[in-house]
Every structure is written in C-alpha cells, then in structure tokens.
Amino acid sequence: MVLVFRSHCHLESYLADCYDAIAVFLCIHIVLRFRNIAAKRDVPALDRYWEQVLALLWPRFELILEMNVQSVRSTDPQRLGGLDTRPHYITRRYAEFSSALVSINQTIPNERTMQLLGQLQVEVENFVLRVAAEFSSRKEQLVFLINNYDMMLGVLMERAADDSKEVESFQQLLNARTQEFIEELLSPPFGGLVAFVKEAEALIERGQAERLRGEEARVTQLIRGFGSSWKSSVESLSQDVMRSFTNFRNGTSIIQGALTQLIQLYHRFHRVLSQPQLRALPARAELINIHHLMVELKKHKPNF
C-alpha cells in the first residue's frame, strides 16, 4: 500500500510539470491495456489503482491539449518573422503531433480526445488562413494553402486511417484550393477564352444564340491568339507550378489538372463555334484539332 501511495504521489508530482501530451497519452493507453489484460485474466486487485492513475493522467492530457488549442488560436502571423509559401513549421508540428495522437487513439478510441483534436484542427486551419492573408496576391495565398494542406495530409495519411476525419477534411480543403489555383493559373493566358465560352454557353442555354453573330471579330481574335501562344503559355505555367510547390507529385497533379481543364475548355470552345451563327466563320479553319492538342499537351507532362 505504501508503494502504491508513493507511486501515486510521484506520478502526480511529475505530471504537474509535464507538457508532453504524447507521453501522457501513451501512459494512458498503457494503463488501459494493462487494465484490459487484468480484466481478461480476472485479476481485480489493481482496479482501484488503475482508476487513480487514469484520474491523474486524463485531466493533465486534456489540459495540455487545451493549451495547444489556445496557443494556436492566439498566434499572430505578423510576429512570426519572414513568411514564404512553403509549409509553415507550425503546421508541420501540428501534423506530426496530431497524427501521433490519432494513431494511438485508433487502438482504444476516446471521444473526448477526438473532440479536442477537432478543436485543434479548426484552430490550425484558421491559423493557416491568417498566414495566407499576409500574402498580397491570391495566387501566393493559394500556393501557401496548397503546400500546407498537402504537407499535413501527407503526414496524416502515413499514420492515420485514410477515412479518418482529419484526412477527409484536409483532402477536401486541398481539392478546393487546388481547383481554385488551376483557374487562377489559366486566367492570365486563357482568361479571354474562358470568359467568352461562359458567356456563349449562357446565351445558348437561354435560347439567345442569335446574339453570337455579333461576336465574329472577338472569336477570330481568340482563335488566332490561342493558336499563336498556347504552347509558350503552357510551358510558362508548367515552370511556374514547378517553382511553386514543394511536393513534386502534387505539382505534377496540378499541371495535369490544368492541362485537362485547358483541353476541356478548348473542346467547349469548339462546340460553341459549331453553332449555326458561327459555323461559317472563316477563322474556324484555323482551329486546332482537339486530338492534336491532346497529343501536344502530353509532351508537357512532367516526369519526376
């Protein structure tokens, strides 16, 4: 009994100055496993001791997690020094920390732990948005967001289940920002084409295709502009992506997504020009064949 009391006091003294959430959580799960083993072997002698130990460990663990949540919530990006678009060290630390706890928690799940990790995730997501807001251009903001979401997702997927809430959440965020970045990437060289296709499709859908007859000069300019500059534009955006993203595989995926969207855009342009109002336009003869465009774009597929 004296040994148990001393052990209890020693643990209480140690926890008072402990801020290692992973270590405390490991202790909790060690106790839970020993308690389960004792229960299976019908050894109730230490039941009260296990409960006393857990009564010390759980509050400390929750307090440390709450302190982490508050720390991230109160972080001011402007006090973090110079920023760039690479993954931030705070998000990397969060990813390693969270993935470790998620991995441990999978063995004997605890709902309170998941709630606290959920709060921490929300604060990290808000922190990433606050840091992104420090960049002046939307493109830089998106590069920063994608790099950080991709890094956190990669770390989590190494240790957590693919269907975990954390993985699913960051995958959705990554997909949304990637799509926005692709649109931002295509806008400078192909923005005029995008705008015309959207306007023309809207007119056709409303039964106002006759208004396309007044767009011959604009369409001719778009056809010739695309034909003369698409190769250099694609090369430029490919190099831009290569410079922007720290994960080569992610960069490859973004380039492929951009090229796929470009092909789809040009195919929609072809369909608009097949309307009776534009079918006789002489410049249609200068349109690039879709199959030829696909073959040419495959040459720009990066290999890492």
Q: What is the mean pLDDT of residues 273-296?
A: 94
Residue 304 has what pLDDT? 42
Sign of CA dihedral 19, 21, 26, 29: positive
69-88 pLDDT, tens digit per residue, is 999 999 999 888 888 999 99
> Global pTM?
0.88
Measured CA angle at 131 (ends 127, 132), to 5 deg: 115
Looking at residue 26, its pLDDT comes to 95
| 5, pLDDT greater than 50 | no
pLDDT tens, 96-118? 999 999 989 988 899 999 999 99
User: Tell me: the pLDDT tens digits for 188-207?
Assistant: 999 999 999 999 999 999 99
- Looking at residue 8, its pLDDT comes to 64
Query: How do the domains of the chain map onto residue ranges?
Result: 1-74, 182-298
